[in-house]
Chain A
Amino acid sequence: MPQQQSPEQGNASIIDGAIAQQAMPTKLRSVFIINTGIANMASLEASFRRLGIATVRTLNPDDVLNASHVVLPGVGAFAAGMEELHRHGLVDAICERRSLNRPLLAVCLGMQLLCGSSQESTDTGADRNAQTNAQTDAPTNLGATSDIRGLSLFNTNVIRFPSHVRIPHFGWNQVEVPAGAKFLKPGYAYFANSYHLASIPSTTTSAHAVTIAAHTIHGDISFVSAVESGSLLACQFHPELSGAWGEDLIARWFTETSA
């Protein structure tokens, strides 16, 4: 019998014993995906399914705090993403989960939400067009402080790519990984981002130091493409769309953090 306490087991104990016995193995091999809105959830789910891991979409703070494995996905805008997390009362759950070093996979915008703020949320729609089109220089509110705070688990902010590189940063690029990584290996990953983390300090506001930061180069810009910290794996790229390399990465994160 697995020793790990989880909410699924708690729930299972109050239902019919036969069902609980049937349900438990599946539930113990499952990942809870925070359903922050319309994203490419199906791709993420298919990736786990191919690895034999069931997925559950959730907006429940108890799941987000207590489930054995949680994914914070992300496609869309920073402000909208934070708004969704606040609206469903998930901010504290994610932060507490992190402080307890429970396994968390943050993907793309999900990784950016772990930071203090993003230039994206200070951009007006016109700024975003300028940013996407990259036909104009940086908007005038470049230095403005964002009203929208991120989860602030990483002591860094998300910034735009400068206008002299192709934006969005779309396609396969190399991930350079320093020695000692638990999950990450060097290789090509699939990216779709217009904003990035320029750097990340080796400490965080939580008790768990950032131990590994992988980098990727776009044009002449080097940015943080992934972060490992305890049971946390944060990826700017989409591991679920990064072929066998990405699927292996997801598998390593899951198995290495499974008690």
Chain B
Amino acid sequence: MLTKRIIPCLDTKDGQVVKGVRFANLRSLGDPAALARAYEEQGADELVILDVSATPEGRRTAYDTISKVRDVLSIPLTVGGGIRESADVVRLLECGADKVSVNTAAVTNPELISHIAQTFGCQCTVLALDAARMLHSSANSSSPENTPPRWEVVTHSGAKRTGLDVIEWARQAQELGAGEILLTSWDKDGTRSGYDLELLTAVSTAVRIPVIASGGAATPTHLAEAFSAGADAVLAASIFHDGDYTVLDVKQYLQSVGVSVRI
């Protein structure tokens, strides 16, 4: 039986791991290769590296960082941040990435997804989707609890609201060949209050490709909730970076509540 995946995420900037609260107020947490190796030894199923500063600052992902991580890592590695064209993907794969995630550039140019999928395979193509709840219009404000929530895609590390419907975009990306969706709640990211479960359920029922939950996890319970809401995998940063729980701690808890994990 396919197990549920636990995926630590390293946000990097200038070759160092940083943690974002709403993608701002970054603070350094150390050497990516050392952390990557530690997470694999704890039982991480995959690793994601996101160069959080890549898009707004026009940066390219730190290729050296990826190579150093690959040298010590024998689980899958997804890399995102600043990928705009095939040449970026080729360089990342050559450095040791197994998958690449595209975000802002794919919204601007959806054909980037189909191009990467056709050239490198859908198993290599991850759509990073940052979602934010749409504010209810004044017409609906009298009964907001009766209005089903809607989400819009945000880009440029949260700086830009696009108005693009998250469910429609997720379906479109699937049709274009995305192999997975890394779904981050912009409302929840950095809040340590749990994942946006309504968002997770809405997206995971709208597509058939795997959905990775991201944004807001602080406790093992939050991770269990995400799986109940339909996630195939969970991405988490601060829960692990802060040392409160190891990946193994979390997996043992998940197993105890009936979630199938690799231990």
On whether the beta carbons of B120 and A38 are closer than 8 Å, the reply is yes
> Contacts A42-B95, A133-B175, A188-B3 given: A49-B122 contact, CB under 8 Å?
no
Contact of B98 with A174 in the complex, beta carbons under 8 Å: no
Task: Give chain B nearest CB distance to A203 CB in angstroms.
Answer: 30
Q: Hey, which chain B residues are within 8 Å of A41, CB to CB?
A: 93-94
Q: Which of B77-95 contact A (CB under 8 A)?
A: 77, 90, 93-95
Q: Interface residues of A toward B: which range?
A: 35 or more
- Cα A238 to Cα B180 in complex, Å, equals 18
CB–CB B76/A241 < 8 A: yes
Closest Cβ of chain B to A39, distance in Å, is 8
Interface-located stretch among B14-22, B51-59, B67-75, B191-199: B67-75
Contact of B210 among A49, A163, A171, A217 (CB under 8 A): A171
From A163, A167, A243, contact of B74 by CB (8 A): A243
Report Cα–Cα, A135/B207, bound state, in Å: 9
Does A257 lie at the interface of the complex (its beta carbon under 8 Å from any beta carbon of B)?
no
| Bound Cα distance A212, B119 (Å) | 34
Residue of A nearest to B44 (CB): A243
Contacts of A127 in B (CB 8 A): none
Is there an interface contact between A40 and B98, defined as CB atoms closer than 8 Å? Answer: yes
Q: Is the CB of A247 within 8 A of B1?
A: no
In the assembly, what is the distance between CA of A106 and CA of B218, in Å? 41
- Please tell me if B190 contacts chain A, counting CB pairs below 8 Å: no
| Contact status B70-A42, CB under 8 Å | yes
Contact with A along B209-221 (1 / 0, CB 8 A): 1100000000000
Contact status A171-B5, CB under 8 Å: yes
Closest to A192 in B: B123
Given A166-B210, A188-B262, A241-B98, CB of A172 within 8 Å of CB of B2: yes
* Pair B71/A171 contact, Cβ less than 8 Å: no
Q: CB distance A171 to B74 under 8 Å? A: no
Identify A46's interface contact among B93, B96, B119, B180, CB under 8 A: B96
A246 interfacial contact with B, CB 8 Å: yes
| CB of B149 within 8 Å of the partner chain | no
**Is B224 at the interface (CB under 8 A from chain A)?**
no
Given contacts A42-B96, A166-B232, A169-B2, contact A132 B74 (CB under 8 A): no
- Which residues 153-173 of A sit at the B interface, judged by CB distance below 8 A? 163, 166-173
Are A172 and B262 in contact (CB-based, < 8 A)?
yes
Inter-chain contact A132/B210, CB cutoff 8 Å: no
Given known pairs A47-B74, A243-B74, the reply for A132 and B93 (CB within 8 Å) is no
Asked if residues A173 and B75 are in contact (CB atoms below 8 Å), the reply is no
Q: Taking the nearest CB of chain B, how far is it from the CB of A131, in angstroms?
A: 10
Q: Are B208 and A172 neighbours in the complex by a CB distance under 8 Å? A: no
A46 touching B71, Cβ below 8 Å = yes
Q: Does B93 lie within 8 Å of A171, measured CB to CB?
A: no
B123 contacts A43, C-beta separation under 8 Å: no
Contact A42 B93 (CB under 8 A): yes
B5 and A43 form a contact (CB under 8 A) = no
> Which residues in chain B, 1-16, are within 8 Å of chain A measured between CB atoms?
1-5
A173, B5: Cα distance in complex, Å: 10
User: Quick check: is A6 within 8 A (CB to CB) of the other chain?
Assistant: no
CA distance A167 to B1 in the complex (A): 14
CB of A146, distance to nearest CB on chain B (Å): 19
Q: Least Cβ distance of A6 to chain B in Å?
A: 28
| A170 and B232 within 8 A (CB) | yes
Closest CB of chain B to A201's CB: distance in Å? 26
Using an 8 Å CB-CB cutoff, how does the interface string of A69-106 with B read, 1 for contact, 0 for none?
Answer: 00000011100000000000000000000000000000
Q: Is the Cβ of B209 less than 8 Å from the Cβ of A168?
A: yes
Chain B proximity mask over A186-211: 1 for CB below 8 Å, otherwise 0: 00101111100000000000000000
User: Residue B163 at the A interface, CB < 8 A?
Assistant: no
A218 with B122: CB separation less than 8 A: no
CB interface residues, A 226-246, toward B, < 8 Å: 238, 240-244, 246
Which 9 A-B pairs give the minimum distances between C-beta atoms?
A192-B123, A42-B96, A134-B208, A188-B262, A172-B262, A40-B98, A241-B76, A172-B3, A173-B2
Question: Chain B: residues with CB nearer than 8 A to chain A?
Answer: 1-5, 40, 45, 67, 70-77, 90, 93-98, 119-124, 174-175, 177, 179-180, 207-210, 232-233, 262
8 additional contacts (CB under 8 A) given A129-B175, A170-B180? A46-B70, A133-B174, A133-B208, A163-B208, A168-B210, A172-B262, A191-B2, A217-B1
Contacts A/B (CB < 8 Å), 27 sampled: A41-B93, A42-B70, A42-B95, A46-B73, A76-B120, A76-B121, A77-B121, A132-B174, A133-B209, A163-B208, A167-B208, A168-B123, A168-B209, A170-B2, A170-B179, A170-B232, A171-B5, A171-B232, A172-B3, A173-B1, A188-B262, A193-B123, A218-B2, A238-B76, A240-B74, A242-B75, A243-B40
